[in-house]
A and B are shown apart, each in its own frame.
Chain A
Amino acid sequence: MAQFDNFTFKDHLRESLLFNRRLTITIAAVVLLTIVLIGRLFILQVVEYTHYTTLSEKNRVNIVPIPPTRGLIYDRNGVLLAHNVPTFLLEVVEEHVENVDTMLGQLKQIISLTDSDITRFKRQLNRKRKFESVPLRYRLTEEEVARISVNQFRIPGVYIKAELARHYPQGKVTAHVAGYVGRISELDLRRMDNSSQYRASSHTGKVGVERTYEKLLHGQIGLQRVESNAQGRIINVLERTLPVPGKTLYLNIDSRLHAIAEKAFGEDNGAAIAIDPNTGAVLALVSVPSYDPNQFIHGLDTEAFDVLKKSPNRPLFNRAVQGQYPPGSTLKPLLGLAGLELDEVQAFNPVNCKGWMTVPDDIDQRRYRDWKRSGHGTTNLVKAITESCDIYFYDLAYKLGIDRIYQYLSAFGLGKKTGIDVIGELVGLVPNKDWKLRTYNELWFPGETLINGIGQGYTLSTPLQLASFTATLSKFGQRMQPIILKSTQDPKTLEMQPIEPVPLQEVHKISDKNWRTVIHGMEKVVHDHNGTARGIGYGIKYRMAGKTGTAQVFGIKEGERYDEDKIAKKLRDHALFIAFAPADDPKIAVAVIVENGGGGGTTAAPIARKIIDYYLLGESHEPKPTL
């Protein structure tokens, strides 16, 4: 036992010695490292003291982010839609201000500062670092700039900055396409996945192309390391990483076409879309009324915004992609195609239209009326399209059944997003039995097939969807995704990068003969003396295929008559017209809707004619005013 004790004791001593040896080594290391530390501090505080005092007292090294220049937007002909113009704004650097409220008080005496300016400023002040500048007033007038410059020495921390602000030379003509930029909001920051890129930027795309292609347009932030004096004025730029400017965008849009279409609407509200059926290029995406996008750049005050928001004409509402209207009789060509292809009708087998019909197994024997009370008489498919005979298509819809109608309309892209590069596109609605059961928990009534077969009832589509299926129709079922962007350009190398057209799934095989039959009917809509749009066929220099439509706004009870003059304008029918031209070699497909415009042939079709005239024949063929 004693032996064992002795052994551990010896070992203990040995371990203790070993430990103390190691401890000595660490102490040596501690002393060495401390000397290094003291040496470093000696260099900083004693040797380089003068250098750092100079830096500290006279100069400060600051890192200033440089905003990239936002990319320009042009239309297809090189007409400028969005660019950047210099403006002056007032900025405040908090760390140079003694008392923010005193400073604001001083400023109020020389320039105008609204309460909303101040609340916005204070909100931003809390978000930024003390050495970062916070904008207080935008769009200073030259007089204000002068007044501030004179008084600047009394108000430290306040700086005038020249900045590039977005400007839209075309104003409201292209507002619904180009969109606008606005000041970056908390919401925008949360949405962004690259918010560090926006350290120097004040604006971001809010709607339209500005929003869709924000990433291309914005560019990449730059940095500069600067020496500035005690007032924060930059006296020397030490190092600079240049920002990368945003890409220049060329759109498929033709802004002159826009202007012509907008003028053609006159006082009416509505939308007009023109697409090149071969590529899906969107030539025009007009929604009237429009608004001036320039007023959004520096933020609208609440009052002005309310005016826009509450206007009964809803100028901010992009009818072209967000308006959902019953497509009315514009669906008839599609129904005709379905009927021919499924052998439910033969092109020359007529139906007798006596002005009304009933559904065979309807107990009430409710009468479904044609728009023409006297009826169209003996009517085959071509005549039914030409004269827009409702009875013919009631009969056809009944034969097809709603589910087969659904199948054909869906194949043409109705009830689905077109995939256009505009944010906020709505889907419309194509009903079927399933849908009704799911939505209303009700069975489908045969009468509803008739109503939806002529594009009324539940059926809804956006004007863009109408234009898109018209384009598809013109190309015998070949579908292209509507696209606004034509090409992008590097602002430095000027290298162009065209955007490739995106083909969509073709409409399932329909024989060429059937396409021709339907399109023949549509040509007669314009060119036949009985066509519903014969009014625009006068003096036309090319073959146009079209179809009129009327979308009911106001429900008319059975037996009641629709009398336009007696109904308030707001409740009048929407007028629709779809068309493409030239009929045998389509270059443009158009859809026009005039809200509360009454009949499609008289109000919507002339707008389409003007658009197509301009596009195919050029400006000179626009009817000149007689002097």
Chain B
Amino acid sequence: MSPSPRYSSDFADDTRLSNGGRLSQQFHIDVPMLVALLTLAFVGLIVMYSAGGQDGGAVWRQFFLLFIGFAVMSVIAQIHPTTLKIWTPWIFGAGLLMLFIVLLAGEIGKGAQRWLNIAGFRFQPSEIMKIALPMMIAWYLAESVLPPRRARLLICSVILVVPVALVAKQPDLGTALLIASSGIFALFLSGVRWRLIISLLTIAAACIPFAWGALHDYQRQRVYTFLNPESDPLGSGYHIIQSTIAIGSGGVYGKGWLNGTQSHLDFLPERETDFIFAVLSEEFGFMGVLILLAIYLFITARGLLIASQAQDTFTRLLAGSLSLTFFVYFFVNIGMVSGLLPVVGVPLPLISRGGTSLVTIMAGFGILMSIKTNRKLVSH
């Protein structure tokens, strides 16, 4: 095995893109995925212009954030998966440490605390966990043969539960949900036996009453509101009423760009962030929604393809988990805005305004591209 990776040329899609293919290998960029992501970003900017009240400033801000996101993606794509694998325990450890610090700072500050200030940069350690957790589980499972044995699974569940609990305690149930699902996907893909999956689910279900008892009153109230938006008609319940009207009145072809009445005249809350999907569906209708879903599905499928072509357990599990988490992102967001799911704070990837989560998503795609373009030939 040589230390520098040798590039394969016997895969169909690489040979097809003769010149570009080589270039993409050089820069570690997966062109189809890049094109899809850029399209999505472009759609996002268009919708943002409308949602932000035709304010150029909002669009420029989002453009700048997207630029940073794509830059982060390109940089991470240059990192070899082997290097990523070596870093994994350190990244996870650092992320966990920062979560503890945030929790402690929150206890002292007597309030919800999610942000950490390092050298003038504010960021959420919980965002790091969205990537660090699947990395850690993939790293740990890759240490031995698959499917993992029971002892190993026990450790895995600790790796999973600790950060999720810390984030849930912040309290940020949306992010906790995304982190948990990323870890669960890695575990599921590793081939955990069905019997075990079912018994784990049973245990988890049995734990719910205990976890419920450990919550604070106000957290419980939060969960009630999540489960039944009608109980808080002035808050999130109002959001759902307004967003379903916006979506429904969009019809098949939509009211046209900048013509959404619900989102402009009425108070559609969070219309630049978590509820931006309502603006899109009101103005571009069912057709627009289908196109958006097609792009999202293409990206997910491309990610899963990368996972299936990956050559070792670590990259395979990581790529699979990241792609599926991306699916959860848009599924939960659209489900919540259309009243299918309770309101959880999950942004619509690449379209909602938002700094840290956008960067994390793009970092995930950077890892996927690194995995895709750094395939080495396995010596037979």
- With a CB–CB cut-off of 8 A, which chain B residues contact A56? 245-246, 248-249, 261-262
Chain A positions 38 through 60: 1 when the CB is less than 8 Å from some CB of chain B, otherwise 0 = 10111011101101110111001
Task: Name which residue of chain B comes closest to A8, CB basis.
Answer: B145
Decide yes or no whether B189 CB sits under 8 A from chain A.
Answer: yes
Decide yes or no whether B15 CB sits under 8 A from chain A.
Answer: no
Are A63 and B233 closer than 8 Å at their CB atoms? yes
Decide yes or no whether B63 CB sits under 8 A from chain A.
Answer: no
Are B247 and A34 closer than 8 Å at their CB atoms? no
Report the separation of the CA atoms of residues A306 and B191 in the bound assembly, to the nearest whole angstrom: 80
Report the separation of the CA atoms of residues A277 and B336 in the bound assembly, to the nearest whole angstrom: 65
Partner of B286 from the list A19, A41, A95 (CB cut-off 8 Å) is A41
Decide yes or no whether A117 CB sits under 8 A from chain B.
Answer: no
Report the separation of the CA atoms of residues A129 and B242 in the bound assembly, to the nearest whole angstrom: 14
Decide yes or no whether B316 CB sits under 8 A from chain A.
Answer: yes
Closest chain-B Cβ to A247's Cβ sits at a distance in Å of 25
- Residues 199 to 222 of chain A near chain B (Cβ within 8 Å): 199
In the complex with contacts A11-B145, A30-B327, A45-B289, A22-B188 CB distance below 8 A = yes
Are A41 and B338 closer than 8 Å at their CB atoms? yes
Decide yes or no whether B17 CB sits under 8 A from chain A.
Answer: no
Are B304 and A23 closer than 8 Å at their CB atoms? yes
Task: Name which residue of chain B comes closest to A51, CB basis.
Answer: B248
Decide yes or no whether B244 CB sits under 8 A from chain A.
Answer: yes
Decide yes or no whether B27 CB sits under 8 A from chain A.
Answer: no
- With a CB–CB cut-off of 8 A, which chain B residues contact A57? 249, 261
Task: Name which residue of chain A comes closest to B244, CB basis.
Answer: A44
In the complex with contacts A130-B267, A225-B233, A38-B248 CB distance below 8 A = no
Decide yes or no whether B227 CB sits under 8 A from chain A.
Answer: no
Task: Name which residue of chain B comes closest to A94, CB basis.
Answer: B267
Decide yes or no whether A26 CB sits under 8 A from chain B.
Answer: yes
Are A23 and B290 closer than 8 Å at their CB atoms? no
- With a CB–CB cut-off of 8 A, which chain B residues contact A130? 267
- With a CB–CB cut-off of 8 A, which chain A residues contact B204? none
- With a CB–CB cut-off of 8 A, which chain A residues contact B378? 12
Task: Name which residue of chain A comes closest to B145, CB basis.
Answer: A11
Closest chain-A Cβ to B183's Cβ sits at a distance in Å of 14
Are B267 and A129 closer than 8 Å at their CB atoms? yes
Task: Name which residue of chain A comes closest to B378, CB basis.
Answer: A12
- Residues 24 to 79 of chain A near chain B (Cβ within 8 Å): 26-27, 30, 33-34, 36-38, 40-42, 44-46, 48-49, 51-53, 55-57, 60-61, 63, 65
Are A34 and B233 closer than 8 Å at their CB atoms? no
Task: Name which residue of chain B comes closest to A131, CB basis.
Answer: B267
Decide yes or no whether A100 CB sits under 8 A from chain B.
Answer: no
Decide yes or no whether A235 CB sits under 8 A from chain B.
Answer: no
Task: Name which residue of chain B comes closest to A26, CB basis.
Answer: B324
B185, B248, B285, B300 pick with most chain A CB within 10 angstroms: B248
Are B248 and A19 closer than 8 Å at their CB atoms? no
Task: Name which residue of chain A comes closest to B192, CB basis.
Answer: A22
Are A52 and B289 closer than 8 Å at their CB atoms? no
Decide yes or no whether B112 CB sits under 8 A from chain A.
Answer: no
- With a CB–CB cut-off of 8 A, which chain B residues contact A61? 241-242, 245
Interface residues on B, range: 35 or more
Report the separation of the CA atoms of residues A421 and B146 in the bound assembly, to the nearest whole angstrom: 74
- With a CB–CB cut-off of 8 A, which chain B residues contact A45? 247-248, 250-252, 281, 285-286, 289
- With a CB–CB cut-off of 8 A, which chain A residues contact B354? none
In the complex with contacts A23-B320, A63-B233, A223-B233, A30-B188 CB distance below 8 A = no
- With a CB–CB cut-off of 8 A, which chain B residues contact A11? 145
Decide yes or no whether A619 CB sits under 8 A from chain B.
Answer: no
Are A38 and B293 closer than 8 Å at their CB atoms? yes
Decide yes or no whether B297 CB sits under 8 A from chain A.
Answer: yes
Are A15 and B304 closer than 8 Å at their CB atoms? no
Chain A positions 414 through 457: 1 when the CB is less than 8 Å from some CB of chain B, otherwise 0 = 00000000000000000000000000000000000000000000
Binding site secondary structure of chain A: helix
Decide yes or no whether A18 CB sits under 8 A from chain B.
Answer: yes
Closest chain-B Cβ to A14's Cβ sits at a distance in Å of 8
Are B335 and A40 closer than 8 Å at their CB atoms? yes
- With a CB–CB cut-off of 8 A, which chain A residues contact B300? 30
Interface residues on A, range: 35 or more
Decide yes or no whether A20 CB sits under 8 A from chain B.
Answer: yes
Chain B positions 289 through 302: 1 when the CB is less than 8 Å from some CB of chain A, otherwise 0 = 11001000100110
Decide yes or no whether B126 CB sits under 8 A from chain A.
Answer: no
Report the separation of the CA atoms of residues A55 and B249 in the bound assembly, to the nearest whole angstrom: 8
In the complex with contacts A44-B247, A61-B241, A199-B234 CB distance below 8 A = yes
Are B338 and A27 closer than 8 Å at their CB atoms? no
Task: Name which residue of chain B comes closest to A132, CB basis.
Answer: B267
- Residues 1 to 25 of chain A near chain B (Cβ within 8 Å): 9, 11-12, 15-16, 18-23
A22, A33, A53, A63 pick with most chain B CB within 10 angstroms: A22
- With a CB–CB cut-off of 8 A, which chain B residues contact A53? 248-249, 251
Chain A positions 86 through 107: 1 when the CB is less than 8 Å from some CB of chain B, otherwise 0 = 0000000001000000000000
Closest chain-A Cβ to B36's Cβ sits at a distance in Å of 16
Decide yes or no whether B307 CB sits under 8 A from chain A.
Answer: yes
Are B234 and A44 closer than 8 Å at their CB atoms? no
In the complex with contacts A45-B247, A55-B245, A95-B265, A40-B340 CB distance below 8 A = yes
Report the separation of the CA atoms of residues A36 and B335 in the bound assembly, to the nearest whole angstrom: 9
Decide yes or no whether B115 CB sits under 8 A from chain A.
Answer: no
- With a CB–CB cut-off of 8 A, which chain A residues contact B146? 15, 18-19
Decide yes or no whether B47 CB sits under 8 A from chain A.
Answer: no
- Residues 205 to 252 of chain A near chain B (Cβ within 8 Å): 223, 225
Partner of B290 from the list A33, A36, A38 (CB cut-off 8 Å) is A38
Task: Name which residue of chain B comes closest to A25, CB basis.
Answer: B188
Task: Name which residue of chain A comes closest to B248, CB basis.
Answer: A52
A11, A63, A95 pick with most chain B CB within 10 angstroms: A63
Are B338 and A26 closer than 8 Å at their CB atoms? no
In the complex with contacts A37-B340, A45-B247, A46-B252, A19-B297 CB distance below 8 A = no
Report the separation of the CA atoms of residues A63 and B316 in the bound assembly, to the nearest whole angstrom: 50
Task: Name which residue of chain A comes closest to B297, CB basis.
Answer: A34
Partner of B247 from the list A19, A41, A60 (CB cut-off 8 Å) is A41
Closest chain-B Cβ to A49's Cβ sits at a distance in Å of 5
- With a CB–CB cut-off of 8 A, which chain A residues contact B241? 61
- With a CB–CB cut-off of 8 A, which chain A residues contact B133? none
- With a CB–CB cut-off of 8 A, which chain B residues contact A15? 145-146, 191, 313
Task: Name which residue of chain B comes closest to A14, CB basis.
Answer: B146
Are A95 and B185 closer than 8 Å at their CB atoms? no
- With a CB–CB cut-off of 8 A, which chain A residues contact B54? none
Task: Name which residue of chain A comes closest to B264, CB basis.
Answer: A95
- With a CB–CB cut-off of 8 A, which chain B residues contact A42? 286
Report the separation of the CA atoms of residues A49 and B249 in the bound assembly, to the nearest whole angstrom: 6
Closest chain-A Cβ to B137's Cβ sits at a distance in Å of 14
Decide yes or no whether B266 CB sits under 8 A from chain A.
Answer: yes
Decide yes or no whether B334 CB sits under 8 A from chain A.
Answer: yes
Report the separation of the CA atoms of residues A521 and B304 in the bound assembly, to the nearest whole angstrom: 102
Report the separation of the CA atoms of residues A18 and B190 in the bound assembly, to the nearest whole angstrom: 8
- With a CB–CB cut-off of 8 A, which chain A residues contact B289? 38, 41, 45
Are A34 and B293 closer than 8 Å at their CB atoms? yes
Chain B positions 167 through 182: 1 when the CB is less than 8 Å from some CB of chain A, otherwise 0 = 0000000000000000
Report the separation of the CA atoms of residues A44 and B277 in the bound assembly, to the nearest whole angstrom: 13
Report the separation of the CA atoms of residues A225 and B237 in the bound assembly, to the nearest whole angstrom: 11
Are B250 and A223 closer than 8 Å at their CB atoms? no
Decide yes or no whether B147 CB sits under 8 A from chain A.
Answer: yes
In the complex with contacts A23-B308, A33-B331, A56-B261, A49-B252 CB distance below 8 A = yes
Closest chain-A Cβ to B332's Cβ sits at a distance in Å of 10
Closest chain-B Cβ to A97's Cβ sits at a distance in Å of 11
Please name the 5 residue pairs, one residue from A and one from B, whose CB atoms are nearest each other, closest first: A52-B248, A56-B249, A45-B286, A18-B191, A44-B248
Q: List 16 A-B contacts (CB under 8 A).
A: A9-B380, A18-B191, A23-B307, A23-B320, A30-B324, A34-B293, A37-B338, A38-B290, A41-B281, A44-B244, A44-B338, A52-B245, A55-B245, A56-B246, A57-B261, A61-B242
Q: A15-B313, A19-B146 are in contact. List 19 more A-B contacts (CB 8 A).
A: A9-B380, A15-B146, A16-B316, A18-B147, A19-B317, A19-B320, A26-B304, A33-B331, A34-B297, A37-B334, A38-B290, A44-B338, A45-B248, A49-B252, A51-B248, A53-B248, A65-B234, A95-B265, A199-B234
